[in-house]
Amino acid sequence: MTQKIYNQKTNHFSKAFLTSTTSKMEFNFLSGEINSNQKMDQEYYWYNMLGFSPITSETASGMELEYINSDSQTESPSSAQKQSKDSLATQNHSKDSLKFGRRVAKSFLQFIRQDKGIVVSTFLDCGAKILASQTALLGVEIIDSSKLMKDSLLLIEDVWNFFAKNLSCSYNKKISKVPKNIWDIVFTEEGFWKVAKEVGTTLQFKDYFFGCEEVEAEIIRAYYKKVLFLVNRGMIMVHLHLKKAAKEDFYENIAKFENYIMLSTVPELFDSYNHKKGVFVDECCRACKVCQSKSVDKTIKSKIKTAWDYAIAFEQNFKNGSTFEGFQDALNIFQFLTILDDAIASCSK
């Protein structure tokens, strides 16, 4: 009986979620109920709302050219494609993942602990408002939104501390590169919550929500996990691009750092990346263990191209915006990430 009630409330919650608004903008995680034509129309609608032009092969190529010319110190996807096989064979980028991971862990932890600007507080506020708008549909209120998000940030910090710990030689003596299971800790929802359950701050939901019975608690817990991980994704995405825009030494000696920014945004491509050669399988030799891996699906090239198209679009819009200015920017980034996830998933259909 309880399961039946849970299913009924979840279905109601899902449908309400599809039509609810936050800051006058729809926010859609549950796009599975939308057919392909509606989905395409919705994506174009959101691009216009967010200031992102619809991506086509023509506009992507144009953005890529602008992207290449904008920063001669970095190596763009198209320039990587022009590398010869001989050149790829002589270069070894095996240590790039570890350099990138350690720098990200150190800088991001400092960022969320010491941020005196608006980025962290704004993402938390945005997450709290989205969560409140959805729990209200269940007749549940957040008792203390500020405390909930403060404790949520501590949970994010616990997960990132564990990620940093696993990249240290003192704890992980044999580490020479970042394996997928460690990468997943902070860049995938499944990996994040697996570690959070083991080492994170325990949140008792009844301490934060009023009118929350067993059924509601299960629904809210599932939704809270999606929202908080989205907050984590949004903050790291902004952090990495702010570091790039500042042209600091953060990416020094990481020739392929653009690839790792992309892998942090679309982590499911991790096994389709040749870390030694510094290329994805669509640019690789077609003969190595990465290219020949049984786990490489037939749609991977489409996923890689789609990921680059979106990465380039985000880069250009981030540059045009110059700085992160507030709540609407956080909401726009949340929307961008959900559209990106849908686009990658649609490649498999």
The structural domains of the chain, with segments of one domain joined by +, span 2-346
Please report the pLDDT score of residue 294 as a whole number: 57
Mean pLDDT of 330-341: 92
Residue 235 has pLDDT above 90, yes or no: yes
User: Who contacts 82 (Cβ-Cβ below 8 Å, separation ≥6)?
Assistant: none
Integer angstrom CA distances of residue 82 from 73, 94, 254, 281, 315: 17, 20, 19, 14, 21
* pLDDT range class, residue 283, cuts 50, 70, 90: confident
Distance separating alpha carbons of residues 307 and 289, to the nearest angstrom: 22
Which of 93-107, 182-196, 271-285, 317-331 bottoms out in mean pLDDT, i.e. has the lowest? 317-331
* pLDDT range class, residue 132, cuts 50, 70, 90: very high
Please report the pLDDT score of residue 30 as a whole number: 28
Distance separating alpha carbons of residues 48 and 52, to the nearest angstrom: 6
Please report the pLDDT score of residue 180 as a whole number: 95
Residue 231 has pLDDT above 70, yes or no: yes
Mean pLDDT of 154-177: 93
Higher-pLDDT residue of 228 and 219 is 228
Q: What is the dihedral of CA 212, 215, 217, 223, to 10 degrees?
A: -130
* pLDDT range class, residue 22, cuts 50, 70, 90: very low
Higher-pLDDT residue of 149 and 68 is 149
Highest mean pLDDT among 12-16, 35-39, 220-224: 220-224
Residue 37 has pLDDT above 80, yes or no: no
User: Who contacts 102 (Cβ-Cβ below 8 Å, separation ≥6)?
Assistant: 164, 167, 168
Residue 200 has pLDDT above 90, yes or no: no
Mean pLDDT of 327-331: 89
Q: What is the pLDDT of residues 67-125, one digit of tens each?
A: 323 333 334 444 444 444 444 455 788 889 999 999 999 999 999 998 767 899 999 99
Integer angstrom CA distances of residue 243 from 145, 157, 208, 238, 250: 30, 19, 35, 9, 7
* pLDDT range class, residue 215, cuts 50, 70, 90: confident
Closest C-alpha to 204, from 289, 283, 144: 144
Residue 195 has pLDDT above 80, yes or no: yes
Mean pLDDT of 211-216: 82
Using DSSP's 3-state secondary structure scheme, residue 142 falls into strand
Closest C-alpha to 79, from 256, 253, 242: 256
* pLDDT range class, residue 324, cuts 50, 70, 90: confident
HSE-up of 272 (CA within 13 Å, CB side)?
Answer: 22
Mean pLDDT, all residues of the chain: 76
Residue 62 has pLDDT above 70, yes or no: no
Which of 210-224, 285-299, 321-335 bottoms out in mean pLDDT, i.e. has the lowest? 285-299
User: Who contacts 152 (Cβ-Cβ below 8 Å, separation ≥6)?
Assistant: 124, 127, 203, 228, 231
Backbone angles phi, psi at 140, to 5 degrees: -115, 140
